[in-house]
Structure 1
Amino acid sequence: MSNDLAGSMRFGTTPDVPRKTIEVLRLSDNLNRMALQHLNLIESAPTKTQLAYAHGRADGYIEGLDEGGALTGQQGAVLQNAFKSAHDTRLAQLQSQDR
């Protein structure tokens, strides 16, 4: 994990985590594909309601993988940061459209 990402997790901020970060996690092909699909759903949500739904599903995906032992704690944290960053970016875009 990069020092920036580790530091941001420690201090409670969310960095702008690029897609490459998810790919670097070395998840299986299926898990990687699903993580990127969740990221796409968040990034393309047309409304705030659909954004909240997509982000909730992504978080549920992480929880399910974590409970099933398919992720390490570090992988789960990186995925959560990626989804949170995408959510925050998309929310800002949607809010600017409302003005």
Structure 2
Amino acid sequence: MEVISPKTLLKKFEIGKIDLLQIDAEGYDLEVIRIFDIENSKPEAIIFENVGLEENDYQTYLEKLKDAGYKTRKFGPNTLALKNGYTEFQKYFT
């Protein structure tokens, strides 16, 4: 099995824009966010599991997402991070 970085994946398949980044990494979701370089890849929406994460780490990454221009909302075992420009979904973040 070949393993490549997200940056290489985007370049290899000439992906210029990411609409949705869905992460299900069984407790390593924050690590995937970190290596995906959210500040530069700028997915429109990110969904990741929050189950099994250390609360301190989770809060740190919520702040990082906020600083990168995302609003976040916890929905049970998952968290949705949505870029601030999506006005039609803002009602879910109040």
The verdict on a shared fold, with TM-score over 0.5 as the criterion, is no
* Structure possessing the higher relative contact order (Cα contacts under 8 Å, 6 or more residues apart): 1
If the TM-score is normalised by the length of the shorter chain, which range does it land in?
Answer: 0.3 to 0.5
Instruction: Provide TM-score, normalisation by structure 1.
Output: 0.33
How does the TM-score come out when normalised to structure 2?
A: 0.34
Higher strand share: 2
